Amino acid sequence: MIKRVLKCNKGLTGEITIPSDKSISHRAVMFSSLAKGECTVKNFSSGADCHSTLNLFKQLGVNIDFTDEKTLKIKSEGTLIPGSNNIYSCGNSGTTMRLVSGILAGQNFDSTLTGDESLSKRPMKRVIEPLTLMGAKIESTDSHAPLYIKGQPLHGINYSSKLSSAQVKSCILLAGLNAEGETVFTEPYVSRNHTELMLDYLGADIKVDGNSVTISSSELEAKDIYVVGDISSAAFFIVAGLIVPNSDFVIKNVGFNSTRSGIIDVVRRMNGNVEILNERIVSGELCADIRVKYTEFLKSCTIEGEDIPRLIDELPVIAVLASQAEGETVVKDAQDLRNKESDRIKCLTDELRKIGVDIEEREDGFIIDGKKRLKGGSELESYHDHRLAMSFYVAGLVSENEIAINGFEWTKISFPEFEQLMEKLS
Ligand code: S3P
C-alpha cells in the first residue's frame, strides 16, 4: 500500500492516548502462560507482533480469550502442552522468536519456531549460543529460523554477553527460570528491563545488580497486569510535535521506564520543548503524560554508548529530528540497527537522502548535517519495516512536496492506530 503524506502547515494540536507497549504486551502473555492460575491483562497491544505471541501460547495449550478489544483473560495450568504439529509461527516478531526459544528449550517436548521472510534473515546465534551452553539442543541453518528445538533439561550458566540486548537477556532468564542451579546474565549496558520487573512482580527468584541479573528456577504467580503505553510509538509524535511549526499537544499514558526513555534525554540535549507530567507507577512500570511543543531552535547532539539500548527503536525517527536541528548529529555504537526488521542504517540513509536529508552512512550508525530544506517529492521504500514507514511519514510532515511511502501497511506490526492518532492531532 502506498501512503501519500503532505506537508502539515497548521500544526498538530489536541490530546492523544498512546496505545499499549509492545515489549510489555509480549511478556504479559508469555509470563502469565507460565504461571498457574487465572489473570487479566488489560490494555494489550493490537499490533500483529503481540498477536503472534498470543496465538503461539494458545497453540501451547494456554486458555487465552479476549473479554473486550484490549483485555485478555489468561488461564494456565503453569505447564505448556505441545501443539498438534509442534510448529509455531513467530510471524515478523524477533521478540517472540528469541524469548520463546528460551522457554521451549527446557520443555519435555520438541518444537519448531518459524518466521516470515524478514525474521528468517535475522541472526539467532545470539540466543542459540548461550542456550547451547545451558544444555539446549537447537538446530538451524546457519543460525537462522526455522529453529528446531529438542526439549532438554537445562542447567544454569554465568554468561557475559557482548551485546546489550533485552531479547537475548530475556531469553536466557526465561531458560534460567526452568534450569537447575543459578543463571547469571551480564551485559555491557543495561537494556530494557521489563522482563526483570515483571518476573519480580510475579514472584520469581530474581535479583538485579548493576548490569547483571541472577535468576533461579521459580514458580510464577498469576497476577493481573495493566500494560502502559509504548514510548517507542510515542516517539513518532514527540518528533512530529517538535518539528511541525505551531504544534502543541499532550500524549497520555506513556511508559517511562528509565531503560526506555533515552529519547527524552536526547530531545532535552537537542533543546526540544517537552514537559513530563503526572508521573505514576502502573503494574510496576513508571508511566507519564508528555506535553510536546514545536521548537524552532533544535541543536545537534552525539548519541552513543549507553544511550543506544535506551533508544534503539527510536533511532530512525531521531534521524528525522536531527534533520531539523542545527549542526551535525552523530549516532555511533548502533551497529545492531543493521539486524532489525531491515538494515536500518542502510535503508534509512538511502531513503532519507532521496528527500534531501544530508545523511552519511557509518558502519555503526550515521551522521546528519541538519537544518537543510527537505524537498520531498519522492517515493520512499519502507522495506517491510514498520518503524521506517512511520519515520518517513513524520519526515513527510515537514517536506516541501508530497512524499509517498511504499509498504505503509507494515505499520500494523506495532502500531495499527498510528495514522488515526496523527489525524486526530491534525
Ligand atoms: C525488544 C528489545 C529490542 C528492541 C525490540 C524489542 C524486547 O531488541 O529492538 O524491538 O522487547 O525485548 P534487542 O534487545 O535485540 O536490542
Give residue-wise pLDDT tens across range 29-49. 999 999 999 999 999 999 999
Which mutation among 97, 100, 312 tests ligand 1's pocket best, with the greatest number of atoms within 8 A of CB? 312
What is the rounded end-to-end Cα distance, in angstroms, of the chain? Answer: 22
For ligand 1, atom 9, the nearest C-alpha belongs to 313
Over residues 396-407, mean pLDDT: 98
CA 287 to ligand 1 center in whole angstroms: 19
Cβ(43) – ligand 1 distance below 6 Å: no
Question: Among all chains, which residue has been given the C-alpha cell 539486524?
Answer: 339
Question: Among all chains, which residue has been given the C-alpha cell 483473560?
Answer: 73
CA 101 to ligand 1 center in whole angstroms: 15
Sign of the Cα torsion 63, 65, 71, 73 reads negative
The minimum-distance atom of ligand 1 relative to the CA of 340 is: 9
Cβ(312) – ligand 1 distance below 6 Å: yes
pLDDT score, position 372? 83
CATH number of 2-20+228-425: 3.65.10.10
User: Where would I find the beta strands (DSSP E) of 199-244?
Assistant: 205-209, 212-216, 225-226
Residue 133 has pLDDT above 90, yes or no: yes
pLDDT score, position 101? 98
Please check whether residue 272 is in contact with residue 293, taking contact to mean a CB–CB distance below 8 angstroms: no
Averaged confidence pLDDT in the chain: 98
pLDDT score, position 161? 98
Cβ(195) – ligand 1 distance below 6 Å: no
pLDDT score, position 283? 87
Cβ(191) – ligand 1 distance below 6 Å: yes
For ligand 1, atom 4, the nearest C-alpha belongs to 313
Sign of the Cα torsion 97, 99, 104, 105 reads positive
Q: List, in sequence order, the alpha helices (H) in 73-161.
A: 94-104, 125-133
Residues 6+ apart with CB under 8 A from 81: 60, 61
The minimum-distance atom of ligand 1 relative to the CA of 166 is: 14
**Which listed CATH number (3.40.640.10, 3.30.70.980, 3.65.10.10, 3.30.413.10) goes with 22-226?**
3.65.10.10
CA 313 to ligand 1 center in whole angstroms: 8
Cβ(53) – ligand 1 distance below 6 Å: no
pLDDT tens, residue by residue, 192-237: 999 999 999 999 999 999 999 999 999 999 999 999 999 999 999 9
pLDDT score, position 63? 98
Cβ(173) – ligand 1 distance below 6 Å: no
Which mutation among 118, 122, 167, 390 tests ligand 1's pocket best, with the greatest number of atoms within 8 A of CB? 167
Residues 6+ apart with CB under 8 A from 85: none
From residue 167, alpha-carbon distances to 163, 191, 340, 348 in Å are 10, 9, 12, 23
CA 339 to ligand 1 center in whole angstroms: 11
Name 361's bridge partners. Answer: 366
Show the cell assigned to 27.
511478556
Interatomic CA distance for residues 164 and 185, integer angstroms: 11
pLDDT score, position 56? 98
For ligand 1, atom 16, the nearest C-alpha belongs to 165
Please check whether residue 248 is in contact with residue 46, taking contact to mean a CB–CB distance below 8 angstroms: no
Give, as one character, the DSSP assignment of residue 307: G
Catalytic member of 313, 336, 350, 369: 313
Task: Tell me which amino acid residue 62 is.
Answer: V
Over residues 366-388, mean pLDDT: 97
At 332, the pLDDT band (50, 70, 90 cuts) reads: very high
Over residues 305-332, mean pLDDT: 98
pTM, two decimals, is: 0.98
Interatomic CA distance for residues 10 and 245, integer angstroms: 7
CA angle, residues 230, 313, 282, in degrees to nearest 5: 25
CA 27 to ligand 1 center in whole angstroms: 12
Cβ(23) – ligand 1 distance below 6 Å: yes
The minimum-distance atom of ligand 1 relative to the CA of 170 is: 12
The minimum-distance atom of ligand 1 relative to the CA of 336 is: 16
pLDDT score, position 123? 98
How is the chain split into domains, by residue range?
2-20+228-425, 22-226
CA 86 to ligand 1 center in whole angstroms: 26
Residue 267 has pLDDT above 90, yes or no: yes
Cβ(92) – ligand 1 distance below 6 Å: no
Domains 2-20+228-425 and 22-226 agree in fold: yes
Give, as one character, the DSSP assignment of residue 387: H
Give, as one character, the DSSP assignment of residue 308: G
Half-sphere exposure of 71 (CA within 13 A, CB side): 7
Q: Pick the closest to residue 295 from 330, 252, 326 (CA basis).
A: 326
Torsion from C-alpha of 43, 47, 51, 54, nearest 10 degrees: -30
pLDDT score, position 69? 95
Please check whether residue 414 is in contact with residue 22, taking contact to mean a CB–CB distance below 8 angstroms: yes
336 is catalytic: no
Share of the chain residues as helix, strand and coil, in percent rounded to the nearest 5: 35, 30, 35
